[in-house]
């Protein structure tokens, strides 16, 4: 049986897809229709999700007798006092709590995961592994040192030491450029993957080819 | 002053010709598949082996932080890993910490073959909880506080699978599909992997993957599969070809075109620079 909802969804999706791509030619009404539809749908989706989350996580437990859940509601309400000049100072309390909790949670585990384990992983890189792996590891350590040295701005590059440092500095710049090149290449690959997925939708789902 | 209308003649230039070439390079291999080989990388094989070695009966936490915009790249690896999990005798809990993701999880669940797995007994979709990193910490400490009901509004008391789940330590392994920077592997490592010692596997985009490699090297991320290519490789490993495999021909041809354009562009640039 033909699913009318599914077919209309595919047609609508394909139309919006083509409307958006029409921007390549020039700005037009079809493109703007698709753009505004996207914004409206996103706003509606996030509004519903926000209200649903407040109900699920806050209101339902509160209404079932968990009185302590009134506290986040009060702090949430206090955020709106920013709109009154007289009561604005009250909004500092929920913001202070948000920042405090955020920083506390940010620090939690960060020292272990982002500092200690990272240093340990760098130091235990096997140099006497197979030749290719050893080359990679040595290159990694050299690049690490050169990139870090690139960001040292505290002394002038003068004399023999300064000249030596200058080579390291240049190597660091090359390593950074290589890193940025890889990032750009990956970005292009991702954009192509997204573009390809839309073509798959148009060719396979909409036109039924392939 | 009258506004000048853009005509087709004004519109045709090198950029537009390149855009048309890219369109053809992508569209033709999709309509007429070539079947170019897809070599399987060690990274994807490692993730496959990890999923394959999960103890039967244990509970897997699958977190999805993929945005709607990123689904084009992430649909195939995410769906393929989910399909593999459904083939294995394990239980799965799906959770999202990003707004777009619950619908995408449902879309993936609709597409895969669930076998004889029963909702509530073998797998559960808890849905979305707001708060990003804070929500991850709350979920890790008390799953029931973060989710009094599941995605469909069913109280957790009515879902047999959730009876034995209290906090993150009750999960054997966590698998995360992620595209958004708001919440991701670092939050999971800080709030779930490090305090509760839950092994962690990532399905990442090609852009984000280099950033995650530091954690792969340190051993915090046990396995990583990358982007649509990872998806195609995984589809081959689980012997269920899907969107990833269909994409790879188009990806390979369009990348080849880009490489040719890059080389030709550089030759023209340097030739012009050396000129009089």
Domain extents in chain B = 42-247
pLDDT at B3: 60
pLDDT at A1: 53
At residue B12, does pLDDT exceed 80? no
A contacts of B228 (beta carbons < 8 Å): 193, 196-197
Tally Cβ neighbours within 10 Å of residue B3.
5
Contact B258 A25 (CB under 8 A): no
Average pLDDT of the segment spanning A51-60: 88
Which of A53, A190, A196 has the CB atom closest to B205's CB atom?
A: A190
User: Tens of pLDDT along B238-252?
Assistant: 998 888 888 888 989
Interface mutation vs chain B, best among A190, A201, A210, most B CBs within 10 Å: A190
At residue B98, does pLDDT exceed 90? yes
For domain B42-247, is the CATH number 3.40.50.720? Answer: yes
Q: What is the C-alpha to C-alpha distance for residues B146 and B98, in angstroms, rounded to an integer?
A: 14
How far B250 CA sits from the closest chain A CA (Å)?
Answer: 7
Q: Which residue of B has its CA nearest to A62?
A: B148
Interface mutation vs chain A, best among B190, B193, B198, B253, most A CBs within 10 Å: B190
B contacts of A195 (beta carbons < 8 Å): 22, 26, 72
Distances A64 to A69, A155, B19, B43, B138 between C-alpha atoms, Å? 10, 65, 59, 48, 20
Q: Encode burial over B240-262: b for 16+ CB neighbours within 10 A, e otherwise.
A: bebbbbbbbbbbbbbeebbeeee
Contact A102 B134 (CB under 8 A): yes
pLDDT at B176: 96
Which of B134, B148, B228 has the CB atom closest to A60's CB atom?
A: B148
Q: What is the C-alpha to C-alpha distance for residues B13 and A209, in angstroms, rounded to an integer?
A: 30
At residue B1, does pLDDT exceed 70? no
Tally Cβ neighbours within 10 Å of residue B103.
16
A contacts of B219 (beta carbons < 8 Å): 117, 121
Q: What is the C-alpha to C-alpha distance for residues A84 and B196, in angstroms, rounded to an integer?
A: 44
Q: What is the mean pLDDT of chain A?
A: 88
Tally Cβ neighbours within 10 Å of residue B165.
21
Contact B228 A209 (CB under 8 A): no
At residue B210, does pLDDT exceed 60? yes
How many domains is chain A built from? 1
Q: Which domain covers residue A162, as residue numbers?
A: 109-210
Tokens of A165: 């440092």
φ/ψ bin of B95: left (φ > 0), alpha (ψ from -120 to 50), beta (otherwise)? beta
Average pLDDT of the segment spanning A43-71: 90
Tally Cβ neighbours within 10 Å of residue A145.
14
Lowest mean pLDDT among A52-61, B124-133, B162-171: A52-61
Contact A60 B149 (CB under 8 A): yes
**Closest to A12 measured CA to CA, from A40, A33, A28:** A33
Does residue A198 belong to any structural domain of this protein? yes
B contacts of A102 (beta carbons < 8 Å): 133-134
Contact A197 B205 (CB under 8 A): no
pLDDT at B275: 65
pLDDT at B174: 97
Q: Which residue of A has its CA nearest to B22?
A: A192
Average pLDDT of the segment spanning B89-100: 95
Contact A118 B227 (CB under 8 A): no
Which of B30, B128, B148 has the CB atom closest to A199's CB atom?
A: B30
Contact B228 A210 (CB under 8 A): no
φ/ψ bin of B199: left (φ > 0), alpha (ψ from -120 to 50), beta (otherwise)? beta
Does residue A92 belong to any structural domain of this protein? no
Contact B209 A186 (CB under 8 A): yes
Average pLDDT of the segment spanning B208-226: 91
DSSP notation for A69-128: GHHHHHHHHHHGGGG-TTTGGGGHHHHHHHHHHHHHHHHTTHIIIIIIHHHHHHHT--SS
Average pLDDT of the segment spanning A183-204: 89
Residue located via tokens 């079932």: A64
Confidence class for position B217, pLDDT limits 50, 70, 90? confident
Interface mutation vs chain B, best among A25, A49, A192, most B CBs within 10 Å: A192
Contact A195 B134 (CB under 8 A): no
Contact B137 A108 (CB under 8 A): yes
Q: What is the C-alpha to C-alpha distance for residues B140 and B170, in angstroms, rounded to an integer?
A: 10
Distances B54 to A49, B43, B88, B108 between C-alpha atoms, Å? 34, 17, 8, 21
How far B255 CA sits from the closest chain A CA (Å)?
Answer: 8
Q: Which residue of A has its CA nearest to B8?
A: A25
Q: Which residues pair with B203 in a beta bridge?
A: B177, B225
User: Tens of pLDDT along A88-139?
Assistant: 999 999 999 999 988 888 887 788 888 888 888 877 666 666 788 788 888 8
Tokens of B68: 């709607």
Q: What is the mean pLDDT of chain B?
A: 91
Sheet order of strands, B59-65 included:
B123-128, B91-96, B59-65, B173-178, B200-204, B221-226
Between chain A and chain B, the number of residue pairs with CB atoms below 8 A apart is 143
Q: What is the C-alpha to C-alpha distance for residues B113 and B175, in angstroms, rounded to an integer?
A: 19
At residue B211, does pLDDT exceed 90? no
B contacts of A45 (beta carbons < 8 Å): 99
Q: What is the C-alpha to C-alpha distance for residues B161 and B143, in angstroms, rounded to an integer?
A: 12
How far A164 CA sits from the closest chain B CA (Å)?
Answer: 29
User: Tens of pLDDT along A1-42?
Assistant: 558 888 899 999 999 999 999 998 888 999 999 999 999 999
Does residue A56 belong to any structural domain of this protein? no
Confidence class for position A53, pLDDT limits 50, 70, 90? confident
Q: What is the C-alpha to C-alpha distance for residues A149 and A168, in angstroms, rounded to an integer?
A: 7
A174 or B182, greater pLDDT? A174
Chain-centroid distance, C-alpha A157: 37
Average pLDDT of the segment spanning B247-259: 91
How far B10 CA sits from the closest chain A CA (Å)?
Answer: 10
Residue located via tokens 């037009």: A28
Contact B219 A121 (CB under 8 A): yes
Tally Cβ neighbours within 10 Å of residue A181.
10
Q: What is the DSSP letter of A207?
A: S
User: Tens of pLDDT along B41-94?
Assistant: 999 999 999 999 999 999 999 999 999 889 988 999 999 999 999 999 999 999
């Amino acid at each position: 049986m033909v699913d009318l909802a599914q077919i209309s969804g595919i047609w609508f999706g394909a139309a919006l897809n083509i409307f958006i791509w029409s921007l390549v030619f020039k700005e037009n009404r079809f493109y703007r229709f698709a753009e505004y539809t996207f914004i409206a749908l996103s706003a509606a989706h996030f509004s519903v999700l926000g209200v649903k989350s407040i109900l699920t996580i806050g209101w339902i437990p509160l209404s079932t007798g968990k009185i302590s859940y009134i506290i986040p509601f009060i702090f949430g309400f206090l955020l709106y006092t920013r709109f009154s000049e007289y009561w604005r100072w009250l909004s500092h309390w929920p913001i202070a709590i948000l920042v405090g909790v955020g920083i506390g949670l940010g620090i939690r585990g960060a020292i272990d995961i982002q500092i200690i384990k990272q240093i340990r992983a760098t130091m235990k890189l096997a140099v006497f592994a197979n030749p290719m792996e050893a080359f990679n590891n040595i290159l990694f350590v050299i690049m690490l040192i050169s990139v870090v040295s690139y960001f040292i701005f505290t002394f002038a590059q003068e004399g023999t030491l300064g000249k030596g440092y200058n080579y390291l500095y240049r190597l660091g710049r090359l390593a950074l450029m290589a890193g940025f090149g890889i990032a750009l290449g990956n970005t292009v690959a991702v954009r192509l993957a997204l573009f390809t997925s839309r073509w798959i939708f148009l060719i396979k789902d909409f036109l039924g080819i392939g | 002053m009258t506004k000048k209308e853009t005509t087709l003649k004004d519109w045709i230039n090198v950029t537009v010709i390149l855009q048309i070439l890219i369109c053809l390079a992508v569209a033709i291999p999709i309509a007429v598949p070539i079947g170019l080989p897809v070599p399987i990388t060690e990274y994807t094989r490692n993730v496959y082996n990890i999923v394959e070695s999960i103890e039967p009966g244990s509970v897997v936490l699958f977190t999805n932080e993929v945005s709607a915009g990123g689904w084009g790249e992430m649909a195939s690896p995410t769906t393929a890993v989910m399909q593999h999990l459904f083939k294995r005798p394990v239980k799965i809990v799906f959770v999202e910490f990003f707004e777009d993701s619950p619908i995408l999880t449902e879309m993936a669940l609709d597409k895969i073959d669930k076998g004889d797995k029963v909702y509530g007994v073998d797998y559960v979709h808890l849905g979305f909880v707001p708060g990003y990193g804070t929500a991850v910490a709350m979920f890790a400490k008390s799953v029931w506080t973060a989710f009094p009901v599941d995605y469909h509004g069913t109280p957790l008391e009515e879902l047999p699978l959730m009876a034995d789940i209290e906090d993150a330590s009750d999960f054997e392994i966590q698998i995360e599909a992620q595209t958004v920077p708001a919440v991701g592997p670092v939050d999971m490592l800080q709030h779930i992997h490090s305090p509760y010692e839950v092994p962690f596997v990532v399905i990442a985009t090609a852009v984000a993957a280099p950033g995650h490699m530091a954690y792969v090297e340190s051993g915090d991320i046990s396995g990583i599969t990358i982007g649509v290519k990872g998806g195609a490789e995984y589809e081959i490993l689980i012997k269920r070809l899907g969107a990833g495999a269909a994409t790879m021909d188009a990806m390979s041809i369009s990348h080849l075109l880009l490489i040719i354009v890059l080389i030709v562009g550089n030759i023209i640039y340097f030739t012009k620079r050396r000129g009089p």
